[in-house]
Amino acid sequence: MAFELELISPVEVAKGYVLAIQEYTLLSAQSLANFFRHPLYMGDMLQQADLIGVGSLPIVVLTGLSVGALLALNAASTLERFGSVTLIGQLVSLGMVTELGPLITGLMVAGRNASGMASELGSMVVTEQIDAMRALGTDPTKKLVTPRVGATAFMLFFLTIIADLLGEIGGYGVAHLLFGVDTNQYWTSVWQVLVFRDVFTGLIKPVLFGFIISTVGCYYGMSTRGGTQGVGRSTTQAVVAASVLILITDFFVTKLIFAIFGYR
Amino acid sequence: MPAPSLPSGNPAAAVVSPSGYAIEFDKVAIAFDENVVLDGVSFQLPHGETKALFGVAGSGKSTLLKLAMGLLRPDSGRIFVLGEEVTRMSEQELFQLRRRVGIVFQEGALFDSLKVYENVAFRLMEERISAAEVERRVREVLRFVELEETYDMFPSELSGGMRRRVAIARAIVTEPEVLLYDSPTGGLDPVTSNTIVELIVKQRDVYKTSALMVTHRLQDAFTMATHQFDKATNQMVVLPKGRHCDVPMSFLILRDGKVIFDGDGHELATSRDEYIREYIS
């Protein structure tokens, strides 16, 4: 069997990327605009909130606990050398609330739900169900995309709070059981180190990450071409793109918040 | 095989649009990359008429239906559906028009995560019709396609022919003014195909809805042209020789992106075009 290598012009590749960005931007804007247009599919939004939020709870609980415990374990080995092991609570709290809680939860939910959305919508595209929906007079972005965007942004906010809390519990387990840090001292330092800026940073990120996960997942799903192979391709691309976008956005959001509120 | 019992609903009277046609294509052309699919296609579907659309695989039959629904945009030309110019309408305006048109996709395109009842009721539920009324109409239309027992089943639990019948039920539940069928018998065995054709004939003769039917099976279209639904016996019966069906039936053949034939059964049978003669032989 002979394989032919097809050369594609760099201009065509660049055009393809620009077109993809344009289509993604349009879909994202449309999904937001739909919140202000009738009908608003509340039933679908609640169903998605259950699938995305409640369904992701086990992995968020496990990763939150593990990351908090690991953070405490790694920090303790350094802090112990300076006799400051009692500061573990501060480190875990700051690390979880401002950075690791939103990031790890976002990446976990991206892996689970961006792929799910891309494969579900992709399958609907290749079996003409999206065309059928349009033919029945229903806007697929209203019925399918907007409920997913709303549900993911809303649920990721609460999932991140749960991950933050469990991370601190995981850190407490390590600090108390392995390094003998007093319970009261740990939780006081966890609480006292946080200022408004930290909580604001930690709670604005999941909303943005939720928006990215859902819009990227839906975009790749809705632009699926080429049968079942195309569905598989869309699924993989959705997870990769959502994860990369989350990491890039995280950097810029953190930088922006530092620019607005100043460094600690 | 006797056809399913008649629904009690009132058949929708054909609505006359300002253009005088249910569907009108005017020099429509569309290409995908370098591949020209339709090249200056023009034809009209008068109100109340059924037109069977033929052509070899890849001749643009399904594309033509998607263009009529506004699911695709042509590169040039104009398309009118129920007097409205589809080619100049925004997607939001098209959603309103599509509510007056029913379409049966090639593989049915049923929503696989919804039950048969929810699939058929989809449009009605979008219109916020009361649950009791939705149930009454869904049961009525499922009875029409002889599938009332599948009410609570998922599409994956149905055979190919049953899925196609549910798709017809979904398309006609809102009593559309125009119906588009995309290869309704494609991939089905002859017996099931005949059941589907009988259902289409029944729909045509009971509701008198204008219809555009894409098919690759000539015998289906000829059956439709030579048979009529008899309300008294609730069956499809052969028309006596020389008698025409109450609902006009015409044929359209596409070749290389162009219309090479557009006329009635007699004109088709007496055509001297070599390609057409070979096609129908």
Span B192-212, pLDDT tens digits:
888 888 888 888 888 888 999
> How much is the pLDDT for B133?
93
- pLDDT for A4 equals 64
Q: What is the pTM of this model?
A: 0.85
**B71 and A132 in contact by Cβ < 8 A?**
no
pLDDT of residue B185: 87
Asked if the model's pLDDT at residue B13 lies above 60, the reply is no
pLDDT of residue B8: 41
Report which of A235, A212, A249, A241 is spatially closest to residue A112, judged by C-alpha positions: A235
Does position B278 have pLDDT exceeding 90, yes or no? no
Most A CBs within 10 A among B63, B98, B124, B125, hence the mutation to make, goes to B98
Mean pLDDT of chain B: 85
Q: Is there a contact between A139 and B101 if contact means CB atoms under 8 Å apart?
A: no
Our CA-based measurement puts residue A124 at a distance from the nearest CA of chain B, in whole angstroms, of 8
Helices (H), B42-147: 61-69, 91-98, 116-126, 131-144
Confidence class for position B14, pLDDT limits 50, 70, 90: very low
Whole-number pLDDT of residue B12:
41
- Asked whether the beta carbons of residue A134 and residue B98 sit closer than 8 angstroms, the reply is yes
Of the candidates A124, A132, A137, the beta carbon closest to that of B95 is on A137
The answer to whether B96 faces chain A, any CB pair under 8 Å, is yes
pLDDT of residue B1: 40
pLDDT at B29 over 90: yes
How large is the average pLDDT for residues B171-181? Answer: 91
Interface pTM (ipTM) of the complex? 0.83
Q: Give dist(CA A237, CA A246) in Å, integer.
A: 14
Q: What is the predicted pLDDT for the residue at A5?
A: 66
pLDDT score recorded for residue B11: 42
B122 inside 8 A of chain A by CB: yes
B233-273 pLDDT, tens digit per residue, is: 878 888 877 677 777 888 999 988 899 888 888 888 888 88
In chain A, which residues have pLDDT < 70? 1-5, 264
Q: Does B123 touch chain A (CB under 8 A)?
A: yes
Mind listing the pLDDT tens digit for each residue in B107-120?
889 999 999 999 99
Helix A146-177 crosses helix A183-192 at what angle (to 10 degrees)? 140
How many beta carbons lie within 10 A of that of residue B93, not counting itself?
13
Distance from CA of B166 to the nearest CA of A (A): 13
Does residue B23 contact residue B80 with C-beta atoms inside 8 Å? yes
Using a CB-CB cut-off of 8 Å, the residues of chain B touching A135 are 69, 71, 98, 101, 103, 105
- A110: Cβ–Cβ under 8 A, 6 or more apart, which residues? A209, A212, A213, A216, A239, A242, A243, A246
Burial B164-177 (b: 16+ CB within 10 A, else e): bbbbbbbbbbbbbb
Closest CA in chain A for residue B122: A136
Q: What six digits make up the tokens of A239?
A: 């997870």
Of A124, A127, A135, the CB nearest to B69: A135
